């Protein structure tokens, strides 16, 4: 059985029951809304956007590809190896009258990608994108869009990070960011094999998925430069001290793994991407595109992108409540802690990865001192006689 729904300005026929052969997940509308704004922002800087080729390689109903053709106007290929899904994709193309811009395929995604280069390649699988990474990186010319929903191995909550992604994540309080950076690291290495370089434009995690949107450039030198943006994070599970360092330091055994704050042994996560995972100029264009479009998840999308723009480029964050629990104090407000950090000369921001977290270049001992001070100040303020 089928019903019709609308996403953005696109009509979509969807199955009324969730099946793996014709898959439509309404929860991912948020991701698709951000994609539409991102692809519009990316293609607007191109001299002939209507000539850009885009592939939705694992399409399900075809909702992503149909929206890209209908709402952005690119030349799209929409593929699914399931025959019922392929039939549905054709119906959705016809429903939106985009036959001149959209072609349906019923092939194995890897075969199609290895055979054909596309300007924009979108991989939105069940679980891990790893089975499609090699072909996607071979095919892509300009922009790579990748989803992962296997967040447990990526974030270190389950084993499998090393087997699947060639990296060891650690299960820390900043696990969502750890997973995003481990995935970016794996994509960077895969692109490098084809002498291609990655430039992350917008990377985010929401609910149970991670999404990467990254510019791709050709050239061995550029690819080497992006490989140099990989590194490791040392984390002390005893006191919470953490820092990032480049791969070269690890390979030269130039890393002290004894915590300078408490003397315990630090654990090492990685290799992962330790440089900025977004480009603010691009994110601002995405924000503008989101604001002017008809989108079902506009406010959630704007919040993610806006918080991302203001977010510091530091590869981890501190969970405020966990920190206050360790200090045995009730948590003072996050804005008051951010203000105090800035007044003390540190950089500080919130993060889209968690509503209750703080990013700062202060060390954990410095951060704890400031949080305690803010708490004590709030106590003394509440004891002031109210007529003063």
- Least Å distance between CB 259 and Zn ion? 3
Output the smallest distance, CB 235 to Zn ion, in A.
9
Cα distances from 71 to residues 43, 63, 309, in angstroms, run 12, 11, 24
23 binds ligand SAM (CB under 6 A): yes
Nearest to 42 by CA among 189, 217, 215, 236: 215
Q: Which of 51, 97, 126, 310 binds ligand SAM (CB under 6 A)?
A: 126
Q: Rounded to whole angstroms, how far apart are CA atoms 273 and 276? A: 8
Site for Zn ion contains 259 (CB under 5 A):
yes
Task: Quote the least distance from Cβ 69 to ligand SAM, whole Å.
Answer: 14
Distances (CA, A) of 40 to 46, 49, 73, 215, 329: 10, 9, 9, 14, 47
Pairing, β 354-360 against β 318-319: antiparallel
Kind and range of the H or E element at 140? strand 140-148
125 binds ligand SAM (CB under 6 A): yes
Nearer to ligand SAM, 24 or 273 (CB): 24
Q: Which residues touch 168 (CB under 8 Å, ≥6 apart)?
A: 156, 161, 162, 268, 269, 270
Q: How many helices (H) and strands (E) does the chain have?
A: 15, 15
If the CB atoms of residues 122 and 177 are measured against ligand SAM, the closer one turns out to be: 122
Number of residues that bind ligand SAM (CB under 6 A): 20
- Lookup: tokens for 380: 């003394």
Q: Nearest approach, Cβ of 315 to Zn ion (angstroms)?
A: 18
Q: Does 109 bind ligand SAM (CB under 6 A)?
A: yes
Q: Answer yes or no whether residue 268 interacts with Zn ion by CB under 5 A.
A: no
Q: Do 94 and 64 contact (CB within 8 A), yes or no?
A: no
Stretch that binds ligand SAM, among 47-55, 79-87, 204-212, 278-286 (CB under 6 A): 79-87
Q: Which one among 7, 71, 124, 289 touches ligand SAM, defined by CB under 6 A?
A: 124
Q: Which of ligand SAM, Zn ion, none lies near 109, with the C-beta cut-off 5 to 8 A by kind?
A: ligand SAM
Using CA atoms, how far residue 204 sits from 76, 200, 213, 214, 219, in Å, is 24, 11, 9, 11, 27
Residue 344's binding partner out of Zn ion, ligand SAM, none, with CB under 5 to 8 Å set by partner kind: none
Q: Does 236 bind Zn ion (CB under 5 A)?
A: yes
- Residues in contact with ligand SAM by CB under 6 A are 23-25, 28, 58-61, 63-64, 79-82, 85, 108-109, 124-126
């Amino acid at each position: 059985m089928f019903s019709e729904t609308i996403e953005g300005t696109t009509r979509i026929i969807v199955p009324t029951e969730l099946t793996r052969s014709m898959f439509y997940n309404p929860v991912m509308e948020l991701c698709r809304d951000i994609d539409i704004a991102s692809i519009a922002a990316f293609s607007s800087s191109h001299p002939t956007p209507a000539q850009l080729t885009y592939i939705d390689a694992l399409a399900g109903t075809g909702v992503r590809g149909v929206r890209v053709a209908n709402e952005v106007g690119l030349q799209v290929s929409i593929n699914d190896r399931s025959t019922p899904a392929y039939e549905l994709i054709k119906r959705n193309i016809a429903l939106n009258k985009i036959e001149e811009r959209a072609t349906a395929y019923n092939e194995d995604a890897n075969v199609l990608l290895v055979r054909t280069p596309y300007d924009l390649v979108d991989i939105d699988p069940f679980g891990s994108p790893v089975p499609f990474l090699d072909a996607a990186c071979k095919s892509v010319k300009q922009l790579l869009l990748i989803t992962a929903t296997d967040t447990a191995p990526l974030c270190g909550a389950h084993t499998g990070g090393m087997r699947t992604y060639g990296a060891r994540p650690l299960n820390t309080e900043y696990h969502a960011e750890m997973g995003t950076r481990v995935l970016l690291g794996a994509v960077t290495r895969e692109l490098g094999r084809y002498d291609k370089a990655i430039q992350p434009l917008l990377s985010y995690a929401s609910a149970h998925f991670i999404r990467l949107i990254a510019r791709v450039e050709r050239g061995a030198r550029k690819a080497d430069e992006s490989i140099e943006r990989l590194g490791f994070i040392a984390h002390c599970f005893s006191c919470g001290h953490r820092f990032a360092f480049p791969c070269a330091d690890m390979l030269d055994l130039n890393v002290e793994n004894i915590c300078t704050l408490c003397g315990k042994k630090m654990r090492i996560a990685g290799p992962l991407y330790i440089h900025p995972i977004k480009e603010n100029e691009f994110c601002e264009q995405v924000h503008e595109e989101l604001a002017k479009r008809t989108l079902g998840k506009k406010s959630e999308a704007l919040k993610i992108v806006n918080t991302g723009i203001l977010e510091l480029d530091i590869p981890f964050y501190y969970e405020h409540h966990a920190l206050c629990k360790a200090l045995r104090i009730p948590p003072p407000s996050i804005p008051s802690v951010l203000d105090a950090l800035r007044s003390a000369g540190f950089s500080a921001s919130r993060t889209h990865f968690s509503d209750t977290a703080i990013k700062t270049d202060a060390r954990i001992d410095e951060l704890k001192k400031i949080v305690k001070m803010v708490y004590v100040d709030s106590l003394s303020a509440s004891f002031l006689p109210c007529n003063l």
